[in-house]
Amino acid sequence: MHNYTREDILKMVEEEDVGFIRLQFTDIYGTIKNMAITVSQLEKALDNRCVFDGSSVEGFAELGEADMYLYPDLNTFEIFPWRPQQGKVARMICDVHYPDGRPFELDPRYILKKVVKEAEEMGYTLKASPECEFFLFHTDEDGIPTTITHEQGSSFDVGPLDLGENARRDMVLTLEDMGFNVETSHHELAPAQHEIDFHYDDALSTADNIVTFRMVVKTIAKRHGLHATFMPKPKIETAGSGMHMNLSLWKDGKNIFRDDTDKNGMSQEGYQFMGGILEHIKAITCITNPTVNSYKRFVPGYEAPVYITWSGKSRSPLIRIPAMRGEHTRLELRSPDPSANPYLALAVLLAAGLDGIKNSIKPMGSIDLNAQKMTDEQRASLHIDMLPQSLPEAVNELEQDSFIKDVLGRELSTKMIDSHKKAYHEYCMQVTDWEIANYLHKI
């Protein structure tokens, strides 16, 4: 993580011939927004005096509270490698504030920072590493995205089967130019599906990295004549895209999840952190899987988890403890998908984990077999529960979980719940190709 000062920013802008700065923030859904300024306005931006109309951002403010101020986080300063080399373009991620200087309580970055501060007061730092999956599809003659691909690649395939490897390579090189520590990249299970994983970082930096990652992937894909989508399930009968989240908790420079005497290498705090997440997972799912389409990924027979289980051996449960132990001991939550707002997702996961530690919440016993391959009777005998199977189910769980609503703040919770209900109502009014194919000629 950088530790830039105001003078550092001014010096880099001059030395690197930066001509344009994008002041970025996200709406409540995690979509990047920005306001661009020229270098002549940089001092004003660094003084936190750049104003935007909050009423124009979905989910933010009402018309009577329109003016919002952007406070740049200097440590997020990065130059876009794909822009011109004269008059370069840079960005800084910003926090959103009211005119009187108060943080805007609906700003997702602020919500995560509040939970991070609570963890710090307990002596903890969350480290997180996402596994980001996406699809690369063709566009039509008008540049409109399609779901068409000419390849039939599968997991870890190489060219010529993997037709997207050149685009993926350029994505990785661009990310590294922007300071990412990319660990792996490869073709994923479905045709045209890819994964890029980057090194763990603190929660706020990881969330910043995820929104930056999505921007870079889409930008480089477009340069290759492709469309990158983070839609969880763009095609039927193929695997969907997940965003597995690897989590560990650190204190005084040590991974407190580590316990070499435990059969899973996991400490009591680690189990309690897991217990807190499992206690609130149904409501959390509304945040980590926030679209109607998200729940088309949660179907038996594919890689996404369906049942609420954990294991230190199996690769199929909702939460697994990966084989790398010691200082690498961590939990891998396999349910989140890349449509999630990463600030809110990490906020509720960290808060739920801390709740588990505070209240000594123990997880249910591990299930080392694949729950998807069990009979209903076997699952019932083991008291195995399911994740929400639709957006309305997840919304209902969020409405009933006061703890998660308090983490998000009641106003944001209400806005998200209302927004999800509206989206599902609109979805239910659609007439799909499946309905036409199955009913039009029969009825």
Catalytic residues, by residue number, are 53, 131, 133, 188, 195, 244, 315, 332, 334
How far lies 132's CA from each of 14, 264, 361, 403, in Å?
34, 26, 29, 28
Burial, 303: exposed, middle or buried (Cβ in 10 Å; 0-12, 13-18, 19+)?
Answer: middle
| Size of the chain in residues | 443
CA dihedral in degrees (67, 72, 77, 81; nearest 10)?
A: 0
| 24: exposed, middle or buried (Cβ count in 10 Å: 0-12, 13-18, 19+) | buried
d(CA 345, CA 284): 8
**Positive or negative: CA dihedral 385, 387, 388, 394:** positive
Task: Name the one residue in this structure whose structure tokens are 């769980």.
Answer: 397
Whether the CB-CB separation of 356 and 277 falls below 8 Å is answered with yes
d(CA 109, CA 2): 18
Residue among 315, 305, 331 nearest 369 (CA): 315
